[in-house]
Structure 1
Amino acid sequence: MSGSSSNGNGNGEGKGDHRADLERASGGPRGTISDSLAKPLARRFYKEASTGDVAPFQILLDGRAVKTPKKRALAVPTKALALAIADEWQAQVDTIDPSRMPLTRFANTAIDAVSETLDAVAADIVAYAGSDLVCYRAETPDELVALQSRDWNPIVAWADATLDARFRVVPGVVHVEQSSEALAAVGHALTPHDPFRLTGLHVLTTLTGSALLALALESKAVTVDAAWNAAHVDEDYQISLWGEDAEATARRRGRRAEFDAAWRWLALLRT
């Protein structure tokens, strides 16, 4: 999971990491879903990637159905998502690079992993809500307090109004139990448990440290850029003080690409 604060070097890690402190204090959620497309194919062996015409829409290579690592059909609920996945396969040149195929990776994960652990994945998202980033606030300095309030208060207000979930907002990082009613409301928002939707929401949740941000983004209550910026208020504040660290910036760029892909995944599921 990405941290929300950084140390004096502005690298997003270390004892200034608000999110890491919070997870240590609370026991924390379990982390990201493992990626089931771990071993890339050595070379491109097909001429054309396409899709089937009937739901669930299969991904085809030279007319033959693609299989997941567990030998299941690589098939998704919407034509738009299938076409986007086929485009990823078509874009490969000499070798197949999974790092450039996020939608394919999400599909494999949804089909091979999440479909077998639906309740556990949903429970993990609810666990994030139990120690949600936007509910734990800095006490000083005043500028950071104001930035957190500006970007996080609307998310908490959205959860109160839309999910009917009354989340406690507290100073510091010492874990505070949220009400069972609030957590149940988040759990209800995840039903019915669909492996494709849960995959996207889990990726967004683990990248931001906030189930509420993930749900608000899915509901279009916040824009993609606003959600990303809200997840990095602490980190951006530290960068404004200490400057950027090249290695941390590269890692953040990778997280942003994954974040954008997860948002696109959810959008294509609704198309």
Structure 2
Amino acid sequence: MSLSTLRRFYEAASAAESEGGFAVHLDGRPVRTPGGRFLLVPARPLAEAVAAEWDAQVETILPSTMPLTQLSSTALDRVAPERETITGYLMAYAGTDLLCYRAEAPADLAMRQSREWQPLLDWAAETLAAPLASTVSVLAVSQPDHALAALATHLDAQDSWRLTAIQAAAAATGSLILALALAEERIDAEAAWSLSQLDETYQIEQWGEDAEATSRRAALKRDIAAAERLLSLLKA
């Protein structure tokens, strides 16, 4: 039976210290990930937050309301055993980062992109030693090898849990730079979402927003917020 159709089968969820970290228990029994691993996290506040997600379930378990459980499972089942693959996935964003592709027109959109996005590229150049080029062309811009190498080195220095949050944020924003800025507390989740949605917000201002777009934007906002919360709980 899939988790999405599983009825609540336990009375209480709790966090418990365990060898190698902190476990989440349901009626005293440890939770396992979809991959069969024990759901063992590195920080008690994170374990308590995951347990709270399980405790909040009513009759049917709804994975969409359990983002920390999902991110923790991803960290254990996918990111930790496949770090090289995940890093490669993230580096693909560096080559086509959202912040590097600007509009030539209309002028007010181009100005907004430059005003809002360029400070983050400047931050990446100064703080991460990763100066990325921007363009108004529809063709891919070639990024400096030393900038890409610096970003790869920075990703390699992250543990699997932070890398999981960075991956989630990059997927939701379309930008490795925004994801790293979130991880390094240069921006918060609200700013990351707003910056990643700059083009869409401009279009909505011109033409309005439909229900499908509203739902999609809200889902991305939740994903970014979950990544930020994971990062916060890891250091709490």
**Aligned ranges for residues 99-110 of structure 1 at < 5 Å?**
99-110=64-75
Structure 1 unmatched ranges of 5 or more: 1-37
- Does residue 116 (structure 1) correspond to residue 116 (structure 2)? The answer is no
Q: Displaced runs of 4+ in structure 1, greater than 6 A?
A: none
TM-score (normalizing by structure 1): 0.83
The equivalent of 1:40 in structure 2 is 4
**Aligned ranges for residues 60-71 of structure 1 at < 5 Å?**
60-71=25-36
Structure with more relative contact order (C-alpha pairs < 8 Å, separation 6 or more)? 1
Provide the rounded CA distance (Å) in 2 between the counterparts of 1:221 and 1:152: 13
Sequence identity percentage? 45
- Does residue 58 (structure 1) correspond to residue 23 (structure 2)? The answer is yes
Structure 2 unmatched ranges of 5 or more: none
The equivalent of 1:22 in structure 2 is none
TM-score (normalizing by structure 2): 0.95
Provide the rounded CA distance (Å) in 1 between the counterparts of 2:3 and 2:60: 12
Displacement of 1:43 in angstroms is: 0.9
The equivalent of 1:49 in structure 2 is 13
The equivalent of 1:139 in structure 2 is 104
Provide the rounded CA distance (Å) in 2 between the counterparts of 1:164 and 1:226: 22
**Aligned ranges for residues 182-193 of structure 1 at < 5 Å?**
182-193=147-158
Displacement of 1:194 in angstroms is: 2.4
Displacement of 1:155 in angstroms is: 0.4
The equivalent of 1:209 in structure 2 is 174
Displacement of 1:41 in angstroms is: 5.2
Query: What is the Cα-based RMSD across aligned positions, in Å?
Result: 1.3
- Does residue 82 (structure 1) correspond to residue 47 (structure 2)? The answer is yes
Provide the rounded CA distance (Å) in 2 between the counterparts of 1:171 and 1:72: 46
- Does residue 254 (structure 1) correspond to residue 215 (structure 2)? The answer is no
One-letter amino acid of the counterpart of residue 194, structure 2: N
Displacement of 1:196 in angstroms is: 1.5
SS at match of 2:110: helix
The equivalent of 1:153 in structure 2 is 118
Q: Which has the higher helix share?
A: 2
Deviations, residues 37-63 of structure 1 (Å, cap 9, x unaligned): x64352111111111124410001111
The equivalent of 1:31 in structure 2 is none
Answer yes or no: is the 8 Å Cα contact 2:192–2:224 preserved in 1. Answer: no
- Does residue 237 (structure 1) correspond to residue 202 (structure 2)? The answer is yes
Displacement of 1:139 in angstroms is: 0.6
One-letter amino acid of the counterpart of residue 102, structure 1: P
SS at match of 1:260: helix
